[in-house]
Amino acid sequence: MLFNIEKKRPRSSRKTQVKYLNKHIDKLQIYFHDNLEFYHFYRITVRNFNSLDKHYLSPNFRSLTSSKNSASGKGIS
């Protein structure tokens, strides 16, 4: 994204370049502001998944299916 903004930056006066860059900064700020709620949701989800990973991927975790199979004497074939 940054490459495209720089690639299309006008090669004219400094004032025109600043105006162009400010316009893109405004667009980016609007985008980030509009998607802030999703960003927070994502951060919370990742944090929760990481804690769930520690639980479910620990060597001491026994899933419900493995306990059912071992309790009934049936193995996974």
Q: Is 62 within a domain?
A: no
Residue 44 confidence (pLDDT): 79
Q: Is 32 within a domain?
A: yes
Q: Is 43 within a domain?
A: yes
Q: Mind listing the pLDDT tens digit for each residue in 5-56?
A: 999 999 999 999 999 999 999 999 999 899 888 888 877 777 776 665 565 5
Q: How far, CA to CA in Å, does 55 sit from each of 35, 59, 64, 70?
A: 30, 9, 14, 21
Domain count, the chain: 1
Provide the whole-model pTM. Answer: 0.50
d(C-alpha 55, C-alpha 62), whole Å = 10
Residue 77 has pLDDT above 80, yes or no: no
Q: Which domain holds residue 44?
A: 2-55
Q: Is 45 within a domain?
A: yes
Q: Are 20 and 9 in contact (CB under 8 A)?
A: yes
Q: Is 17 within a domain?
A: yes
Residue 75 confidence (pLDDT): 47
